[in-house]
Amino acid sequence: MKKREPTSGLMLWIAVILLAVYNLVYWVGKFSPKFIPAVTEVRTSLVEHWGLMMFLELLAVISLFVDIVVRWDEFQKRERNLRLLMTGFFVCAFMARFGFGVMDMYMIGDVQ
């Protein structure tokens, strides 16, 4: 079997960090806009490019999912459970954001 390059693990962890930050900015900006106004402004600028952001997030979520499926036996039980929980959270957050975006486009005509 081909040995995995060390940079691929680093790239996956970078994707996890970016997904976590993106989810935090999105959900805080959507449901408590007066909590931190700067976060709301960042969220608004990201929503302007909704299609591109959804595509990039889809690539990151698929990468996490494929990694956990391909390397399932390599992980210890605790790490396996953490990765499964983390991947499930990001998949659910992606589907929720996609659903909210489609609802906004249908009802309002633009993603809010």
Give me the average pLDDT of each 10-residue run along the chain (112 residues): 64 90 88 81 86 92 92 89 93 92 81 68
Specify the pLDDT at position 26.
87
User: What region does 109 belong to: left with phi over 0, alpha with psi -120 to 50, or beta?
Assistant: left
The residues spanned by each domain of the chain are 6-107
Question: What residues contact 61, with CB distance under 8 A and at least 6 apart?
Answer: 19, 87, 90, 91, 94
Distances from the Cα of 82 to the Cαs of 59, 69, 89, in angstroms?
A: 20, 14, 11
H or E stretch including 50? helix 50-70
**Long-range CB contact pairs, 66-71, < 8 A, 24+:** 67/12, 71/4
